[in-house]
Structure 1
Amino acid sequence: MDTASFSGLIRNLIIIILAYYALKYIMRLLAPVIVQQVVKKASENMYQRQQDNFNQQQAKQEPQKQAPAEKKKVGEYIDFEEID
């Protein structure tokens, strides 16, 4: 059976600390690239949604642009005046 030793504890702590600082350094280098990709993807999604909304509005307005059907003329409008 292995027993825990003080030197093994120190070695593990040093490995954990070195891994933490290595990850911190790597993330400092990669963070701008990652953020740039996220912003680019978000702007593409926003542009696509804007285009979809614009196309939907155009589709709704197209039937309204058509000339209304001409109503049947029943007769002339006569304006009557009251006589006192």
Structure 2
Amino acid sequence: MQTASFSGFIKAIFYMIAFYYIFKFLARLFLPLLVKKAVEKAGENFQQHQQQQYQRAQQTTWKKTSSNDEIIIDTANSKNPRETKKIGDYVDYEEID
């Protein structure tokens, strides 16, 4: 069985402080590089996402007629046009005292 000594305790404290300062120094060197890479990767993902959205928008057919300058939009999902719900007629009334 080993017993703890004061010099062993001081060594442990010294190693912890040394590890802290070495880690802090290395973080200042390499953390900006890691953040830069992460930002570049996020930018690439954003650009790819935008490109995919643009391609999906191009899949819907946009036609422009030259005679009337009328824009006709044909979409693949326009099989059932939306119907507006009519709840009832508006009735104007007066209060009777």
Q: Structure 2: any 5+ residue segments left out of the alignment? A: 63-72, 76-97
SS of 1:44's partner is: helix
Q: Structure 1: any 5+ residue segments left out of the alignment? A: 66-84
**2:70 is the alignment partner of 1:64:** no
**2:45 is the alignment partner of 1:45:** yes
Distance in 2 between residues matched to 1:31 and 1:37, nearest whole Å: 10
List, as ranges, runs of 4+ consecutive aligned residues in structure 1 with deviation greater than 4 Å.
none
User: What do you get for the CA RMSD once the two structures are aligned?
Assistant: 1.7
What pairs with 1:4-23 in structure 2 (closer than 5 Å)?
4-23=4-23
Per residue, is there more strand in 1 or in 2? 2
Identity of aligned residues (%): 38
TM-score (norm 1): 0.71
Cα deviations by residue, 1:8-46 (Å, 9 ceiling, x for unpaired): 011011001101100000000111111110010000000
Q: Which has the larger radius of gyration?
A: 1
Please name the residue that 1:29 is paired with: 29
Please name the residue that 2:65 is paired with: none
Per residue, is there more helix in 1 or in 2? 1
